Structure 1
Amino acid sequence: MSVRHERSRPVDRRVRVQGRPVDSYPSLPPETERGSVRRVTVVGEEILSRPCQEVTEFGSPELSSLIDDMFLTMHVADGAGLAANQVDVDLRLFVYDCPDDYGIRHVGHIINPVLDLPGPGSRQLVEDYEGCLSVPGAGMAVPRTDRAVVRGLDKDGNPLVIEGTGYFARCLQHETDHLFGHTYLDRLSKRDRKEALRQMTERREDVFAQRAVKAAGLGR
């Protein structure tokens, strides 16, 4: 998911890593120092339109390396979240580095996530700007609930429960959608989907160029 350029409330410097509050955290997650940049898949590629496979092996160097690569790729692409199929890997996993509407920064990864949305009486449907690293250069208003909980596992197989409100709840829903083979385009009307694809066609090369410059600036 793309980073939102406006926030509705003043920024608070609190950070939650894997759902837990921490006193301080670097602007770039440590994973980015270990990772390599991978190519981001683009809407129309088959891997983005089918459900991903569950992760069954935990604690491996390969899984840790994939997460490191995803964090760096997300940063280079100026993203707030990134799913494994967006780097052409067929696994149920996503990473995130995303603010909520209170300015709290949420950083982490989750494997085999299950999305739990609150009941109709305790949630609000909000239309807000949404972009996607696999739909480069496009952005549209998409309705999402203002609260979400995702339950899953970390890279070592330990259980995780990640709660989100506002824009972070949107991120959790967006990335979980990816793992079921959906992009935000699937939630748009035919007219809005056509407009998003028009935006992508017009702007994608500029987006790719910006990513290349950012990667080069990091020596990657």
Structure 2
Amino acid sequence: MKLPIVAFGSPILRKVAEEIDENYPDLKTFIQNMWDTMYGSYGVGLAAPQVNKSIRIFVVDSKQVVENFEDEEDKVKYANDPGIKQVFINPEIEAFIGEEEPYTEGCLSIPKIREDVKRPASVKVSYFDEDFNKHTEVLHGISARVFQHEFDHLDGKLFIDYLSPLKRKLMKGKLLDISNLKVRTDYRMIKAN
């Protein structure tokens, strides 16, 4: 089932999300709904706060990005990243690895705005999967970037927070329109507490 996406300006997007355990009610159904919502909104990642749940879980499918690079430079630059399709529960960042690199990011909660954001090229992470098995691994390239973007959502941080004050000021009108739901999307958006 597709869930509505929470729009920029909703307080839940600025909260630090709560950890969950394997007894979280209807977890498997919620995860499937997150996948349905992400794919139905043409996203590559989706965090629980974006669907009005302040819990530490997100889904990522960076394979669709990696498989569809059109730019030869991107294909070469991100050749060490085969892409991932994964559920991340109670994730942690163990270490940032490598130089920060710019890449254009967007967000389903902030539609129609895309900007370059600098993030470390790789990241060592730990997390639980949907069966509550613990994993530790190093993510590279686009997978590392999408992980960091979604992880930020769990801490109440948005990609626009990385932009200069001038850039944020210039997009103030667009952000206001989004928070008032005066933007057209191919998916349903809501304001949330």
Q: Structure 2 length as normaliser, TM-score?
A: 0.80
Query: Do residues 49 (structure 1) and 14 (structure 2) align?
Result: yes
Structure 1 residue 137: Cα displacement: 0.9
Letter in 1 for 2:6: T
Among 172, 176, 185, the residue aligned to 2:147: 172
Amino acid at match of 2:29: S
Structure of greater relative contact order (alpha carbons < 8 Å, 6+ residues apart): 2
1:78 shift after superposition: 0.9
| SS state at 2:62 partner | strand
Taking the aligned partners of 1:162 and 1:64, their CA distance within structure 2 comes to 23
The 1:148–1:204 alpha-carbon spacing in structure 2 relative to 1, beyond 3 Å, is farther
Following superposition, the deviation at residue 156 of structure 1 comes to: 2.1
The Cα of 1:56 is off from its aligned counterpart by: 2.2
Structure 2: distance between partners of 1:45 and 1:114: 24
Q: Tell me the matched-pair count.
A: 171
Q: Find 2:3's aligned residue among 38, 60, 70.
A: 38
Amino acid in the other structure paired with 2:83: R
Q: Specify every segment of 5 or more residues in structure 2 that has no aligned partner in the other structure, as ranges.
A: 67-77, 189-193
- 1:162 Cα deviation (Å)? 4.1
| Aligned match for 1:125, one of 100, 104, 113 | 100
- Give the structure 1 partner of residue 49 of structure 2: 85
* Structure 1: gaps (5+ residues): 1-35, 213-220
Task: Deviation per CA, 1:57-90: give whole Å up to 9, x if none.
Answer: 34x6600011100001001111110000000011
The residue identity in structure 2 corresponding to 1:143 is K
- Write the distance in 1 (CA, Å) between the matches of 2:114 and 2:96: 26
Amino acid at match of 1:37: K
The alpha carbon displacement at 1:199 in A equals: 4.6
For the residues of structure 2 that align with 1:96 and 1:197, how far apart are their CA atoms?
A: 29
Q: CA RMSD in A?
A: 2.1
Q: Give the deviation of 1:92 after TM superposition.
A: 0.2
Task: Tell me if 1:154 matches 2:129.
Answer: yes
Alpha-carbon spacing, 1:108–1:114, altered in 2? closer, same or farther (3 Å): same
Contact in 1 for aligned 2:19/2:90 (Cα 8 Å): yes
**Matched position secondary structure for 2:111:** coil
Alignment-mate amino acid for residue 91 of structure 2: P
- 8 A Cα contact 1:83 1:175, kept in partner: yes
Instruction: Decide which of 62, 76, 92 is 1:114's aligned counterpart.
Output: 92
Which is strand-richer, 1 or 2? 2
SS in structure 2 at match of 1:111: strand
Shift in Å, 1:191 = 1.5
**Is 1:75 the counterpart of 2:33 in the alignment?**
no
Of all paired residues, the percent bearing the same amino acid is: 30
Aligned to 2:73: none
Q: Which runs of 4+ in 1 moved over 4 A?
A: 196-200
The residue number in structure 2 matching 1:136 is 111
Partners of 2:140 and 2:171 lie apart in 1 by: 26
Q: Does the 8 A contact of 1:140 with 1:196 survive in 2?
A: no
